[in-house]
Amino acid sequence: MIPNPDERIGSNTDADTDGRAESESGTESSAEADQVESVFTVLNGVSVSIEDNKYVTLVLNHSDNSNSRSVSGNEIKRRLVHASGTVLPLLYVINILSWSVFEIIMIIGAATAALLETVRLFIGLEWRIYDELTRSYEQTNIAGYALYAFSSTTVIIVFTPVIAVPAMMMLTLGDPISGLLGTTRAAGESKRPRTLVVMFTVCFVIGLVFLFPIAGTTGVISAGVAAIGATVADGIKPVVGGYVIDDNFSIPLIAATGSSIILFVGGHQPIISLY
């Protein structure tokens, strides 16, 4: 029996069509696979760039996501803890605490902070409060609350109340107010000029309240010098030998030293409470 030529032609045509369909399907599958691979490659690149680029990380941290809000909340908590340090000096100012009792409380507080930090840094102390109230560089360094206790206790022991109290309050009030206006900064990064102006203004007013009544014009100058010192200490966190010089430590010491020098030159004594 002789095959029908038309049937052979139709059969060949169907085979060709099926072959082209399979080829096109394979091409589309290959193209889709290439697209998926490209997407993962791009995502991997973005991930690396986020890890390697601190600026990109900073921008992402300010986005409207839950993590961004939690970081902001922790920063506000830090500022409130800062401001709570004003309670003790105010209790002295309104005559609820005597100076000697104030000194004893601060010494006990500093000793407790030293013990807690020793355990945290060398043994390990997993308290949630440390995760919420300490910054990244404080994970391996002495935390800000302890530095505040150490520096404030030092100025209270060394200087007279009229110098020590405003120096403490420049940290407990000036720093959190300026901090809320600015953004959290890395070590070595300075704050914005408007934030520094606010810091200086708050510290200058605090200094005037205590120093002007006892020294007049010299007290105004003394308050200005203390405010400048506190502002500089607040504006930049220098890194010395890999260790961050935290403003919680430097502000009270610099402010008290600056104001005491001006008062001493102006003939207003005593400025030192050590005997």
Question: Mean pLDDT across the stretch 38-54?
Answer: 41
Question: Mean pLDDT across the stretch 224-242?
Answer: 87
pTM, rounded to two decimals = 0.68
Please report the pLDDT score of residue 257 as a whole number: 96
- What would the DSSP string read from start to end of the chain? -PPPHHHHHHHHHHHHHHHHHHHHHHHHHHHHHHHHHHHHHHHHHHHHHHHH-HHHHHHHHTSSSHHHHHHHHHHHHHHHHHHHTTHHHHHHHTTSS-HHHHHHHHHHHHHHHHHHHHIIIIII---HHHHHHS-GGGGSS--HHHHHHHHHHHHHHHB-HHHHHHHHHIIIIIHHHHHHHS----TTPPPPHHHHHHHHHHHHHHHHHHHHHHHHHHHHHHHHHHHHHHHHHHH---EETTEE--HHHHHHHHHHHHHHHHHHHTT----B---
pLDDT band at 238, cuts 50/70/90?
confident
Using one digit for the tens of pLDDT, what is the confidence trace for 106-129? 999 999 999 988 988 888 767 666
More confident residue, 273 or 95: 95
More confident residue, 10 or 250: 250
